[in-house]
Amino acid sequence: MTTEELDSLYKKFDTEFEAYKNYFYQQLKKDTSLNYKNILIASILNRSLSLIEAFKLLLPSNNIIVLNSLIRLQLDNCIFIYGIKLLIDDSYNIDEIGKAIIKGNKKLSDYKIDKVKLYDTYIISKLNEKYKNNIEDMYNFYCRFVHFSDSALLSASEIKDDNLLSIGLSKDYSRFEKNVLENANSFSELNKFVLILLNKEWKDIPSGTKMNK
């Protein structure tokens, strides 16, 4: 990956970081109280920022297994945001959800809507229906780098010039450079999608009970 390509990606990520800060600043201007909505928003954005910073650090290495795992984790943020929206639409409130998650370690998959558990696959299918941006295909692809699959073979093998499969252990991931560059741009789009979802899906969610006076 050229210096110019890396710099371009870093600038994108830095711009996304500034967009996150601006979004949270605007959220606090509307409501400065400590409440579960603000706590969850801060947690989502900070988790997303952690992934972006890790991605930036690893990007020059072309370590495709770990980089793609980070993209899958960013998808998890999108799943969480939309899953909360589905629960709010199903008459739950942000206080009971926030309390159950933060104090009781409850997971979205512990909830049901119309007798269907809120597994990742269900939420992803609903996201895909609404936004029609191949999010389901992305989810299926990047899950391959979190769960043991053909991606593990990919990292330990290489097709040589004589068309023979060579396997071995190596810390050289340079052969994945082109794939990493393409996936990094997808990651950038996902970073933006986090904000799109918060803006569109959480805009009308009530803040809930103030936790400070």
Give this prediction's pTM: 0.90
Residue 207 lies in a domain: no
Please say whether the beta carbons of 184 and 7 come within 8 A: no
Q: What is the pLDDT of residues 125-172, one digit of tens each?
A: 999 999 987 899 999 999 998 887 777 677 666 666 666 666 666 777
Q: Identify whether 124 is part of a domain.
A: yes
Domain containing 29: what range?
3-201
| Residues whose CB is less than 8 angstroms from the CB of residue 173 and which lie 6 or more positions away in sequence, other chains included | 61, 62, 63, 64, 155, 180
How many structural domains are present in the chain?
1
Residue 210 in domain:
no
Domain membership of residue 209 (yes or no) is: no
For residue 137, being part of any structural domain is answered with yes
Residue 208 domain flag: no
Beta-ladder partners of 113: 116
Extended beta strands in 107-187, E state = 112-113, 116-117, 157-159, 165-167
Please check whether residue 44 lies inside any domain of the structure: yes
pLDDT in tens, the chain (213 residues): 789 999 999 999 999 999 999 999 999 888 888 999 999 999 999 999 999 999 999 999 999 999 999 999 999 999 999 999 999 999 999 999 999 998 899 999 999 999 999 999 999 999 999 998 789 999 999 999 888 777 767 766 666 666 666 666 677 788 889 999 999 999 999 999 999 999 999 999 988 887 754
Gap between the Cα atoms of 75 and 81, Å rounded: 10
In a domain, 157, yes or no: yes
In this predicted structure, what is the pLDDT of residue 123?
97
The Cα–Cα gap between 110 and 116 comes to 10
